[in-house]
């Protein structure tokens, strides 16, 4: 039984350790082959055997781990966000008087209330904050410790509870009992208030950065105007079935994917492909659901509904990519796994070090006391506790954990808006270092819709009969050349016959019997394999057509070459500029094709590619990619057809045009929704921008912890400021990633030109 993939919305995660705990719980369910939990998107992507496990088993595993799972990757409850914000506001309402009193004592030495009364108020106020607003954090943190999987909540819980407990001597002193131990009950409530505020802002920022899927859902059409039995009915989109004819009026959104059967006009497809310019559509053209009909009245025969539609597949690709991990994240995951236990040990070590060697530990604090008011806290035991609490709350594993996934979320959203859909997050990192981009020719560099330009008899059959017989033989072929021959014959009014004993020979052509005559239609390799002789005059005629950039199909009747049919395919608009952009990025373009060398050279010269391999079979393309890899190249492959699937899979990064066959899309790591090849260079720029953001985030998070944790251990950081710095660290990483969504992927006003004129480039080629 095939594996299923389920997306779960996970509630209650607040740090990297939370995500690791949930991931471990899901991976432990029998039948689960892979589980990936993304803290940034609060989603879990689980691949499992439905015969062994089901969604209820997954949700129960998450529940046992102490979190809540909801099926379908649905959006988080707005009520939960509001409750979190309310808790932060109430916490500040209770602690603001303490902030004023503490600031007055610390900064100007003013005792607004007597010290004994201050201690009592501080203890009571902080206890109220922890028992109400901070209760979920405390319970979650203590449960995590009990499960031997401490997380960020655990650090804050221990830090605030120890701070509160340190205020007990102040209560005794109020009653006239005990020594002058200086407690820190006042900072307990402040730490919790800052923590709740930071977490609320962080959650809001994370969700804002991961709204790419949500934006797609907002443009989906809810109802469709359907033509049934001569009447127009308005139906919910769920009731429309393939084969229905739907109507899109000017200025309205096209309800579902389909083919235009009547009408025409400009269609804005930017929501799906990122292409800003409207596309002219006419009967027979495919359209995408939720795109906008600008000025035409369209009748569309529906071809896809539900999860099969283009936008639904796009949403699935984005969700899968955002739930995946890039290789650079492995380092952060290893660090985070040890981070929280390590901080607990460091805090304990700090306490012991201060108690056993206060003069050594306090040397830096003493020197800083003149300009850092809290550095001179009285009493070695008070200072030891002060430093240990600061260590607990300054540490920020979240910044490390969020550095990669938030950048990946932002990168996938930016890519989606530009028609670049990431199927596998790891491909984004690999693409940054690609040195060679290999292009399929037909349907990738060219539009893939060749038209017949010449029908040349080379035997006794007239041109019209040669065309009719060849088109009949091609009736079973799905190759673009076969379709072009059939279309040209129909336009000429030819009556086609049904072929028998039809066989498509991949990369060669077709073999069939038409009206009792044995026929071959294909390249010179097919005729050579079948023993059909080709005279020098016939070869010259073929060479003449190929020298003009045309692809030639030879037609043999009953073992003799009877003619040739030449077809030409237009180069995609902007292909030459796209190739130049890749060169400006330091990447060598290569073209692979099953066509002959002369035709391949003509197209290569037109777009500016110097290196080609021609006359290739489908398997040869994969071998050619492998040969480049063995030569030390990191290779990306761009293709669109079934024949390209092996090469797409072989390449380090496979880039499939979404307009191509489904199997090619499934083989690609990145799907290009735009027909323009400029999307290839955009994808490279996206990769480099995303990896720069990831590295910047990781560097910031590492430096933050490397600087701030030792400073806290030396007593230089006040615990409240330490908690604020911890929250700011995560928010800074998220803001850095969010800024990536505003990046431009266009090349800018200038890009490098080739050194040689287009018509004087040296074309390196292999093949026949």
In angstroms, rounded to a whole number, what is the distance separating the alpha carbons of residues 588 and 657?
20
Residue 658 has which token pair? 């979404």
Helix (H, G, I), strand (E, B) or coil at 245: strand
Count of CB atoms situated within 10 Å of the CB of 693: 24
What pLDDT is recorded for position 607? 92
In angstroms, rounded to a whole number, what is the distance separating the alpha carbons of residues 410 and 400?
16
- Same CATH fold, 421-446+571-682 and 221-304? no
* Residue 760, pLDDT above cutoff 50: no
By percentage, how much of the chain surpasses pLDDT 70?
83
- For helices 678-713 and 380-394, the axis angle rounded to 10 degrees is 170
Band (pLDDT 50/70/90 cuts) for residue 764 is low
In angstroms, rounded to a whole number, what is the distance separating the alpha carbons of residues 644 and 641?
5
What pLDDT is recorded for position 663? 41
Count of CB atoms situated within 10 Å of the CB of 578: 25
Choose between 314 and 528: higher pLDDT. 528
Fold observed for domain 4-76: Alpha-Beta Plaits (3.30.70)
Choose between 205 and 654: higher pLDDT. 654
By percentage, how much of the chain surpasses pLDDT 90?
20
Look up residue 497 and give its DSSP letter: P
Count of CB atoms situated within 10 Å of the CB of 345: 11
In angstroms, rounded to a whole number, what is the distance separating the alpha carbons of residues 382 and 374?
11
Band (pLDDT 50/70/90 cuts) for residue 131 is very high
Q: Do strands 43-48 and 32-38 pair parallel, antiparallel, or not at all (unpaired)?
A: antiparallel
Q: How many residues does the chain have?
A: 768
Burial bucket for residue 510 (CB in 10 Å: 0-12, 13-18, 19+): buried
Where residue 558 falls (left for φ over 0; alpha for ψ -120 to 50; beta otherwise) is: left
Choose between 276 and 129: higher pLDDT. 129
Q: What is the pTM of this model?
A: 0.69
Instruction: Report CA torsion sign: 167, 173, 174, 177.
Output: positive
In which order are the strands placed within the sheet that holds 279-281?
A: 252-253, 292-293, 265-268, 279-281
Whole-Å CA distances, 705 to 113, 228, 344: 37, 66, 14
* Residue 322, pLDDT above cutoff 70: no
Q: Is 640 annotated as catalytic?
A: no
What pLDDT is recorded for position 75? 53
User: Is CATH 3.40.50.1000 correct for 421-446+571-682?
Assistant: yes
In angstroms, rounded to a whole number, what is the distance separating the alpha carbons of residues 292 and 284?
18
As a whole number, mean pLDDT of residues 417-422 equals 82
In angstroms, rounded to a whole number, what is the distance separating the alpha carbons of residues 532 and 529?
8
What pLDDT is recorded for position 665? 54
What pLDDT is recorded for position 521? 94
Helix (H, G, I), strand (E, B) or coil at 711: helix
CATH class label, 221-304: mainly beta
Q: Which of 82-86, 112-116, 649-653 is least confident?
A: 112-116
Band (pLDDT 50/70/90 cuts) for residue 755 is very low
Whole-Å CA distances, 333 to 16, 274, 619: 8, 34, 39
Burial bucket for residue 108 (CB in 10 Å: 0-12, 13-18, 19+): exposed
In angstroms, rounded to a whole number, what is the distance separating the alpha carbons of residues 422 and 409?
11
What pLDDT is recorded for position 752? 38
Whole-Å CA distances, 108 to 104, 111, 340, 365: 6, 9, 37, 19
Catalytic residue among 244, 440, 569, 595: 440
Q: Quick: pLDDT tens for 427-436.
A: 888 999 999 9
What pLDDT is recorded for position 308? 78
What mean pLDDT is reported for the chain?
81
As a whole number, mean pLDDT of residues 131-159 equals 85
Band (pLDDT 50/70/90 cuts) for residue 666 is low
In angstroms, rounded to a whole number, what is the distance separating the alpha carbons of residues 709 and 333?
19
Structure-derived torsion over alpha carbons of residues 370, 374, 380, 384, reported in degrees to the nearest 10: -130
Q: Which of 634, 160, 698, 666 is nearest to 407 (CA)?
A: 698
What pLDDT is recorded for position 671? 83
450 sits in which H/E element: none
CB distance 88 to 133 below 8 Å: yes
DSSP characters for 30-90?
TTEEEEEEETTTTEEEEEE-TTT--HHHHHHHHHHTT-EEEETTPPPPHHHHHHHHHHHHH
* CA geometry: angle 504, 509, 510, nearest 5 deg: 45
* CA geometry: angle 11, 12, 15, nearest 5 deg: 120
Q: Which of 119-123, 142-146, 215-219 is least confident?
A: 215-219
Residue 88 has which token pair? 């932060």
Q: Which residue's structure tokens are 């949930």? A: 22
Residue 105 has which token pair? 């004592």
What pLDDT is recorded for position 759? 35
* Residue 588, pLDDT above cutoff 90: yes
Q: Looking at domain 451-568, which CATH architecture does it have?
A: 3-Layer(aba) Sandwich (3.40)
Choose between 158 and 319: higher pLDDT. 158
Q: Which of 150, 94, 152 is nearest to 726 (CA)?
A: 152
Q: Quick: pLDDT tens for 169-216.
A: 766 766 666 555 566 787 888 888 888 887 787 677 666 655 555 555
What pLDDT is recorded for position 109? 60
What pLDDT is recorded for position 206? 62
- Residue ranges of domains in the chain: 4-76, 221-304, 421-446+571-682, 451-568
Q: Which residues contact 529 (CB under 8 A, 6 or more apart)?
A: 508
Q: Which of 334, 385, 376, 310 is nearest to 355 (CA)?
A: 385
CB distance 409 to 690 below 8 Å: no
Q: Which residues contact 166 (CB under 8 A, 6 or more apart)?
A: 181, 183, 184, 185, 382, 385
What pLDDT is recorded for position 660? 46
Q: Which of 66-75, 222-231, 241-250 is least confident?
A: 66-75
Structure-derived torsion over alpha carbons of residues 673, 679, 682, 688, reported in degrees to the nearest 10: 70
In angstroms, rounded to a whole number, what is the distance separating the alpha carbons of residues 566 and 560?
18
Q: Which of 180-194, 249-263, 653-667, 689-703 is least confident?
A: 653-667
CB distance 246 to 225 below 8 Å: yes
């Amino acid at each position: 039984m095939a594996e299923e993939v389920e997306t779960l919305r996970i509630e209650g995660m607040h740090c990297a350790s939370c995500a690791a705990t949930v991931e471990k719980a899901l991976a432990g369910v029998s039948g689960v082959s892979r589980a990936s939990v993304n803290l940034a998107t609060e989603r879990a992507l689980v691949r499992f055997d439905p015969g062994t496990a089901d969604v209820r088993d997954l949700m129960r595993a998450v529940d046992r781990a102490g979190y809540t799972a909801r099926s379908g990757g649905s959006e988080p409850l707005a009520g939960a966000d509001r409750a979190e914000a309310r808790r932060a506001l109430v916490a500040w309402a209770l602690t603001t008087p303490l902030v004023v009193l503490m600031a007055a004592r610390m900064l100007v030495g003013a005792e607004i209330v007597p010290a004994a009364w201050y201690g009592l108020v501080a203890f009571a106020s902080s206890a109220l904050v922890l028992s109400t607003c901070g209760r979920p954090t405390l319970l979650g943190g203590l449960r995590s410790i009990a499960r031997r999987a401490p997380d960020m909540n655990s650090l804050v819980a221990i830090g605030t509870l120890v701070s509160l407990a340190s205020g007990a001597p102040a209560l005794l002193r109020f009653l006239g009992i005990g020594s002058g131990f200086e407690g820190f009950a006042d900072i307990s409530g402040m730490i919790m208030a800052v923590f709740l505020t930071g977490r609320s802002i962080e959650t809001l920022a994370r969700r804002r950065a991961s709204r790419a899927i949500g934006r797609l859902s907002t443009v989906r059409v809810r109802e469709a105007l359907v033509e049934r039995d001569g009447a127009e009915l308005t139906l919910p989109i769920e009731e429309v079935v393939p084969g229905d004819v739907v109507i899109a009026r000017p200025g309205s959104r096209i309800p579902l994917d389909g083919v235009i059967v009547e009408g025409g006009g400009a269609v804005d497809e930017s929501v799906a492909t990122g292409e800003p310019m409207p596309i002219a559509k006419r009967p027979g053209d495919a359209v995408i659901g939720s795109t906008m009909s600008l000025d035409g009245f369209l009748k569309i025969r529906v071809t896809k509904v539900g999860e099969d539609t283009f936008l639904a597949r796009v949403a699935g690709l984005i969700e899968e990519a955002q739930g995946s991990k890039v290789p650079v994240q492995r380092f952060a995951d290893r660090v985070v796994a040890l981070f929280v236990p390590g901080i607990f040990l460091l805090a304990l070590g700090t306490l012991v070090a201060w108690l056993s060697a206060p003069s050594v530990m306090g040397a830096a604090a003493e020197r800083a006391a003149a300009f850092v008011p809290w550095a001179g806290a009285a009493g070695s035991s008070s200072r030891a506790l002060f430093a240990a609490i600061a260590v607990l709350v300054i540490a920020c594993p979240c910044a490390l954990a969020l550095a990669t996934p938030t950048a990946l979320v932002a990168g996938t959203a930016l890519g989606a808006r530009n028609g670049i859909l990431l199927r596998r997050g790891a491909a984004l990192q690999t693409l940054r270092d690609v040195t060679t981009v290999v292009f399929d020719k037909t349907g990738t560099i060219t539009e893939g819709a060749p038209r017949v330009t010449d029908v040349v008899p080379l035997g006794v059959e007239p041109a019209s009969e040669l065309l009719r017989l060849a088109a009949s033989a091609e009736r079973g072929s799905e190759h673009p050349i076969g379709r072009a021959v059939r279309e040209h014959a129909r336009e000429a009014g030819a009556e086609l016959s049904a072929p028998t004993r039809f066989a498509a020979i991949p990369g060669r052509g077709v073999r069939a019997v038409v009206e009792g005559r044995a026929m071959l239609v294909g390249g010179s390799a097919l005729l050579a394999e079948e023993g059909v002789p080709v005279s020098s005059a016939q070869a010259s005629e073929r060479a003449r057509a190929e020298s003009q950039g045309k692809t030639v199909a030879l037609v043999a009747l009953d073992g003799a070459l009877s003619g040739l049919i030449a077809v030409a395919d237009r180069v995609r608009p902007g292909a030459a500029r796209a190739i130049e952009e890749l060169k400006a990025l330091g990447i060598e373009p290569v073209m692979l094709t099953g066509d002959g060398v002369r035709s391949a050279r003509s197209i290569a010269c037109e777009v500016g590619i110097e290196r080609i391999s021609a006359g290739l079979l489908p398997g040869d393309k994969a071998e050619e990619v492998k040969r480049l890899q063995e030569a030390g190249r990191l290779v990306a492959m761009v293709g669109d057809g079934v024949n390209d699937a092996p090469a797409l899979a072989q390449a380090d990064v496979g880039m499939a045009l979404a307009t191509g066959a489904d199997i090619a899309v499934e083989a690609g790591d990145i799907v290009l929704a735009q027909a323009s090849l400029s999307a290839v260079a955009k994808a490279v720029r996206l990769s480099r921008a995303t990896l720069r953001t990831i590295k910047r985030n990781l560097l910031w998070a590492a430096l933050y912890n490397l600087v701030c944790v030792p400073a806290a251990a030396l007593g230089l950081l006040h615990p409240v400021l330490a908690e604020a710095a911890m929250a700011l660290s995560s928010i800074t990483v998220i803001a850095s990633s969010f800024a990536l969504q505003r990046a431009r992927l266009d090349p800018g006003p200038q890009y490098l030109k080739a050194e040689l004129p287009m018509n004087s480039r040296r074309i390196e080629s292999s093949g026949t």
